[in-house]
C-alpha cells in the first residue's frame, strides 16, 4: 500500500511538473487573450472589442504620436462590452501612478446595446463568468490562473499553437497587445466570411432592444475613471456599408448620443465611419492587416490635430 501511494504521489508530481513546463511555453500564440493577462501593468490602453483588437496597432500610434507606452487591451464583443467586469479588468491592468496616459475607447452600438432573454425578459450579460471575470491576476507570467481557469483547449494545444504560428486560421497577440489573425485573403474566402458575418449580425439584431442604460452608465464610469489617468479618445471604427446599415437600424441616433457624451465630458469623439470606403476588411466587420495599419496611422494623425 505504501509503495502504491508513493507511486501515485510521484505520478501526480510528474504530471504537475509537465503542466508547469507547458505553461512556461504559453505566449501570444496560445489564444487571443492570454498575452494580455501575462504582461505588466500599462499606462496607456486601447479598449474595446475585436474591431479594436485587430484594427489598431500601437506600433503605428507610437511612430506618429511620439509615444512608446500604448497597449491594446481590447478583446471580443461578448467579453468586453462596457460593464462592471471590463472596468474591473481595466483597473487591474492600469498602472496606479499613471498620470499622462493615453486611452482609445471603442464605441459602437453593439458595445452599448441591451440584449433581452426571450423567456425571462431580463437583460443578459455575456461577460458574466467568463475569462475576464475569472482572472484575478492580470499581470503574471506565466499566468497559471488564466490557463487553469479559462484556457478552453487541452494544454497540449499550447505547444501545437506555438508551432502553427503564421499558418492560416491562427492567431498571434504581439507584445503590444495587437491581435494578428492569419486568414485566407482570396476574394472568395473574404466574400464567404462577409456574408456569414452579415447574416450573424442580422440575427443579433433580433435579440437586441436598443441601448442599454447599464452599458451606457458603465461607459460613463469608465470615462470618469480614466480621466484621472490621462487623455481619452472615443473612436468609432469603420465597417462596410451593409454592416453600418444594420447598426443604423439598431441605433439610428448613435452618433448624436456620442456627440452629446463627448461634449459633456470634454473628450473627443472621432467617428471614422465616414471613411469606410477607404479600407478593406476580413469579413466586413474587422479591418484586415494592411488596412489596420493604415487606419492606425490615419487615426493617429487625427488625434494629433486634437493635441495641437
**Whole-number pLDDT of residue 120:** 83
Chain segment 9-29, per-residue pLDDT in tens: 433 433 443 456 799 899 999
Beta bridge partners of 245: none
- Over the stretch 190-248, which tens digit does the pLDDT of each residue have? 999 999 999 999 998 888 888 999 999 999 999 999 999 999 999 999 999 999 999 99
Q: Please tell me the predicted confidence (pLDDT) of residue 109.
A: 96
* Alpha carbon distance 296, 55 (integer Å): 7
Which residue's entry shows cell 499566468? 143
Query: What angle separates helix 254-265 from helix 213-227, to the nearest 10 degrees?
Result: 30
Its pTM stands at 0.91
**What does the pLDDT read at residue 15?**
41
Closest CA to 261 of 274, 250, 271: 271
CATH code given to domain 2-307: 3.40.50
Amino acid at each position: 500500500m505504501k509503495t502504491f501511494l508513493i507511486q501515485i504521489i510521484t505520478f501526480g508530481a510528474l504530471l504537475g511538473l509537465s503542466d508547469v513546463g507547458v505553461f512556461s511555453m504559453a505566449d501570444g500564440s496560445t489564444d487571443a487573450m492570454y498575452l494580455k493577462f501575462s504582461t505588466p501593468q500599462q499606462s496607456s490602453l486601447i479598449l474595446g472589442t475585436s474591431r479594436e483588437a485587430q484594427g489598431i496597432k500601437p506600433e503605428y500610434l507610437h511612430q506618429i504620436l511620439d509615444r512608446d507606452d500604448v497597449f491594446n487591451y481590447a478583446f471580443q464583443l461578448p467579453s468586453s462590452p462596457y460593464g462592471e467586469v471590463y472596468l474591473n479588468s481595466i483597473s487591474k491592468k492600469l498602472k496606479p501612478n499613471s498620470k499622462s496616459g493615453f486611452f482609445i475607447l471603442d464605441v459602437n452600438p453593439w458595445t452599448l446595446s441591451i440584449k433581452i432573454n426571450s423567456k425571462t425578459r431580463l437583460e443578459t450579460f455575456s461577460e458574466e463568468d467568463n475569462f475576464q471575470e475569472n482572472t484575478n491576476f492580470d499581470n503574471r507570467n506565466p499566468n497559471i490562473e488564466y490557463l487553469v481557469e479559462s484556457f478552453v483547449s487541452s494544454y497540449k494545444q499550447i505547444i501545437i499553437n506555438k508551432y502553427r504560428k503564421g499558418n492560416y486560421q491562427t492567431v498571434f497577440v504581439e507584445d503590444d497587445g495587437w491581435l494578428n489573425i492569419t486568414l485566407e485573403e482570396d476574394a472568395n474566402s473574404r466574400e464567404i466570411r462577409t456574408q456569414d458575418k452579415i447574416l450573424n449580425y442580422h440575427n443579433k439584431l433580433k435579440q437586441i432592444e436598443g441601448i442599454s442604460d447599464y452599458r451606457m452608465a458603465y461607459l460613463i464610469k469608465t470615462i470618469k475613471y480614466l480621466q484621472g489617468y490621462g487623455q481619452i479618445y472615443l473612436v468609432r471604427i469603420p465597417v462596410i456599408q451593409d454592416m453600418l446599415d444594420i447598426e443604423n437600424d439598431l441605433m439610428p441616433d448613435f452618433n448624436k448620443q456620442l456627440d452629446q457624451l463627448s461634449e459633456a465630458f470634454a473628450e473627443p469623439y472621432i467617428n471614422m465611419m465616414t471613411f469606410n470606403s477607404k479600407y478593406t476588411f476580413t469579413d466586413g466587420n474587422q479591418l484586415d492587416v494592411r488596412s489596420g495599419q493604415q487606419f492606425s496611422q490615419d487615426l493617429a494623425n487625427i488625434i494629433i490635430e486634437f493635441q495641437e
